[in-house]
Each structure stands twice: as structure tokens, then as C-alpha cells.
Amino acid sequence: MKASETWVLKKTDVSKFFAGVAKEMRLVAPRYLFGGDVTFGVVESPGEIAWDYGHVIYPPKRFLLPHYEDMFRYECGPPRRIRLEAINEAPPQAILGIRSCDVSAIRFQEKFFGSPIVDPYYKARSDSTVLFSLVCNAPPKKECFCICCDAGPYLNAGFDVQLTDLGDRFLYEIGSEKGTKATEAGASMLVKAGSDDIAERRRIEVQADLLFETTAYLAKAIDFISADEVPDEIWEELGSTCFRCGACTNLCPVCTCYTVDDRAEADGSFTRCRSWDSCQYAGFTREASGHNPRPTFGSRVQRRFYHKTSYPYIMRDGRHGCVGCGRCISACLTKLGVPDVVKRIRRGMHKYLPAQDRAAEV
């Protein structure tokens, strides 16, 4: 079984196949909650998996970068003796049904946390995680725009195992060593993909491309933002409606910023815990003296977009910081999702550019 080979797994074999995977690692998959809500969670049996799940608000990044993650404990015992205990929980896990956008985001985070200094917590979790991603035959929600971001609806590289729903069977592509290893247990259930299967997958690809309702023409915005040409007025106008809720960064599968607190426990010990933080909060950069280098809403919106879409970061991270999952659109209480901001920057810049440089409004 080699990477970059293409196979087929019958849907009737899916439960058995993943029951086999479950012997080595816990299964994390989409499950229905209440009223149509879906989440990624640990499933006890493959029967619980909601393969037809649509989309999920709470990103699966939290299985590699938890919302709240304990780092180590300490105790201030007598006589003033400090004892430290490392915590590093990295249960082997297979994340099933994860979308291409979220896979791209995880690859981004692996690169970020892996260099130049290695974050041991992220590395441990990512080393013990294999992704069985699911191609989107159609964008799961109207806010999706992964095709604008080279992050979906299917991937040509960067996946471990990529499944495509072909009706009564899944196309099964192996894309990495991890994928190969995770496939070993159930290899006998796979048959080599035939030309019909490949053709069906091509048809799905072409079809899916036509169904996107949201677009984000990032290129011009990246230019303006990188050159620091977007005037403060535009940022402040954008920031004037921000609710400062932090949802955009919490739910963004790419975002990685966190804060650290030492939390007192009931038994007198302390746990150092890191948790998702947001550059959209005013306190994110406020110093002990009270000085805040980003005191306005506009400066913080500018920060979010600089971090995601400027050349220096693109060069360092290997891609820009948006995978087009659309969560920042649906989670935002106002209209500061990436496509909206990008469009408003492009249009807003019109009046600042000399007439001959103004592109036709797209």
C-alpha cells in the first residue's frame, strides 16, 4: 500500500474498517447533537458518525490545539518547595470526515508550531493524529469559499487519507506515510480504484466548483495590506461595527494565538493552562503600564488581516492564513468575515488610487 495510490472502500465496509482503526486510536468524527447542530467529538462506535453532516462551527483544530489546554501543574509545598509536573496528553486519534479546509489549516498550524521552535504540545498531538478527510461534493454552506484559498473542496496534496463520497462507496486516496500506516489494518477491504471511480471523482470536482456562492478575491487586498496602503479611515470604518466577541479567531481553524494563566485548583496546587485568545480583544496587547499599542477597533481589525494576508507572513507560513472555511462569516455578529472585509478594502481603496490604477469593480 503506497502513498499516492487510489482505492475504493465500499460504504457497507465503512463501519468495519473504522472499527479496525478504532483498535489503535480513538475516533473523532462528526456527530449530530440537537436540532441539526453538529460537532466533532469522540465517537464510541463508527455507527455514530454523521457522514452527511454538512458543516461544523467548532473547528476540529481543537483536537490539536485545545480551547483550554493544561500544560503543567505545580504545587508550592512546604517548606517553599516547588514541584512541577508536566502534562502532555496526546491520545492517538483519527479525525474522520474532516473537510479539506480544516486539513489545510492543520497543515498550516503544524508548520507554525513546528518551526523555528518546536511546540511540544502541538507536536505530540499532531504526531498522534491521522486525518481521514472528506471531499466536499458541494460546499456545505453558502459561506464556503475554499476554492479562493487553494484549500478545497478537495486536496491534491497535504492529506493523510482523502475520502470522496461516490454514492455507494468512498474513493480512498492515501497521501502520506501516516495515511499508509493507518490503512494497514483494513487494507484487505480496499480494492484498487477503477477508471469509473476516477471519472466520477472528476465529475464531482467539476460540479463542486460551480456551486460556491461566496468568493473572496484576496489578491488585491493582499497587495494593499502588505504595502500598508490601506488608510486608517478604512480600518476604523470596518472596526466601527465590530462586537469584539473574538468568534472570528476562536473559530478560525488557522488561528493559533493563545493566552496563558496559572489557575488555582481546589487542592491548593496550580495548573498552567493555555487557552484561545484573540487579537480582536483590546486587552490582547495592553501592557502592564496601561499603554495599548492597538487601542482602536480599526487597528485590531488591521492586525487580523495583516497576520492573515500580508507577504511577510505568507512567506514565513507557506501560504496565506485563510482556508476559506467561512466560519468567520457565519460566526460574526457584524460583517467582518474575510470575504466581506476584502471586498470592502478593494472597493474602499478606489477613492485613494489614481484614476488609471482603478481596476474595474469586480
Would you count residue 33 as binding other proteins (CB under 8 A)?
Answer: yes
| Near other proteins in 168-187, by CB under 8 A | none
State the burial class of residue 45 (Cβ atoms within 10 Å of its Cβ: 0-12, 13-18, 19+): exposed
Q: In the stretch 292-331, what mask flags binding to other proteins with x, by CB under 8 A?
A: -xx--------x--xx--x-xx--x-------------xx
| Near other proteins in 47-66, by CB under 8 A | 57-58, 62, 66
Least CB distance to other proteins at residue 10 (A): 31
DSSP 249-312: HHH-SS---EEEEEEE-TTS-EEEEEEE--TTSGGGS--TTS--SS-SHHHHHHHHHHHHH-HH
Least CB distance to other proteins at residue 132 (A): 20
Would you count residue 4 as binding other proteins (CB under 8 A)?
Answer: no
Would you count residue 120 as binding other proteins (CB under 8 A)?
Answer: yes
Least CB distance to other proteins at residue 59 (A): 9
* Alpha-carbon gap, residue 190 to 8, rounded angstroms: 6
* Alpha-carbon gap, residue 182 to 25, rounded angstroms: 10
Least CB distance to other proteins at residue 256 (A): 7
Would you count residue 104 as binding other proteins (CB under 8 A)?
Answer: no
Would you count residue 263 as binding other proteins (CB under 8 A)?
Answer: yes
Kindly state the cell numbers that stand for 278. Answer: 484573540
Would you count residue 213 as binding other proteins (CB under 8 A)?
Answer: no
Which amino acid would we find at residue 127?
Answer: D
Which amino acid would we find at residue 250?
Answer: N
Q: Pick the closer one to other proteins by CB: 144 or 163.
A: 144
Least CB distance to other proteins at residue 64 (A): 13
| Near other proteins in 63-92, by CB under 8 A | 66-68, 71-72, 74-76, 80-86, 88
| Near other proteins in 221-260, by CB under 8 A | 228, 237, 240-241, 243-247, 250, 256-260
Least CB distance to other proteins at residue 214 (A): 16
Q: Pick the closer one to other proteins by CB: 13 or 340.
A: 340
Q: Pick the closer one to other proteins by CB: 333 or 353.
A: 333
Burial 273-284 (b: 16+ CB within 10 A, else e): bbebbbbbbeeb
One residue of 12, 262, 347, 353 binding other proteins per CB under 8 A: 262
Which amino acid would we find at residue 8?
Answer: V
Sequence-separated contacts (24+) of 50-55 with Cβ below 8 Å = 50/97, 51/14, 51/97, 51/134, 51/165, 53/97, 53/140, 54/140, 54/141, 55/99, 55/140, 55/141, 55/144, 55/326
Least CB distance to other proteins at residue 207 (A): 25
Size of the site for other proteins (CB under 8 A): 90
Least CB distance to other proteins at residue 53 (A): 11
Q: How open is the CA angle 112-114-118, to the nearest 5 degrees?
A: 125
Dihedral angle sign, alpha carbons of residues 19, 23, 24, 27: positive
Least CB distance to other proteins at residue 353 (A): 18
Pairing of strands 81-86, 93-98: unpaired
| Near other proteins in 266-285, by CB under 8 A | 266, 270, 272-275, 277, 279, 281-285
Would you count residue 220 as binding other proteins (CB under 8 A)?
Answer: no
Burial 3-20 (b: 16+ CB within 10 A, else e): eebbbbbeeebbeebbeb
Q: Pick the closer one to other proteins by CB: 51 or 112.
A: 112
* Alpha-carbon gap, residue 255 to 111, rounded angstroms: 13
